[in-house]
Amino acid sequence: MQKSTVTAKEVIEQIIEGIQEKKGKGIAVVDMLELGNSICDYFVICQGNSPAQVSAITDSIADMVREKCGKKPYAIDGLRNAQWVAMDYGDILVHVFLPDVRKFYDIEHLWADAKLTEIPDLD
């Protein structure tokens, strides 16, 4: 189902669905629209418990966004080690971390003025 104009919010909904389908945890959406001069409009951040789960989450996000929104990422980086995978959807950057790597970089708190929305984990 290809849509001609898909909003960022629709893409983010599919990213979240893709994460939850593979039991990703700690989903956070960082809204940087109000900041100006930021590298993108949104970060979507989550974590998986193993490199295999990080890879599975990445694949699930790509599939879900492609199927529901007709969009492919411009680039995916980090799959070789699968400790921190970045997916570039232009105005949305997705980061899938292993827990200790996420804790170390703490990217959701780099922009103190950005609006941070945490999505509850599914059980």
Tell me the CATH class for 8-106: alpha beta
In the chain, what are the domain boundaries? 8-106
How does pLDDT run across 105-123, given as a tens digit for each residue? 999 888 888 999 999 998 7
pLDDT at position 97: 98
CA distance 36 to 80: 33
Q: How far is CA 11 from CA 1, 4, 98, in A?
A: 14, 13, 23
Alpha helices, H only, the chain: 8-21, 51-69, 99-105
CA distance 81 to 37: 30
Q: How far is CA 1 from CA 26, 66, 73, in A?
A: 29, 9, 17
Question: pTM of this prediction?
Answer: 0.93
How does pLDDT run across 52-109, given as a tens digit for each residue? 999 999 999 999 999 999 999 999 999 999 999 999 999 999 999 999 999 999 998 8
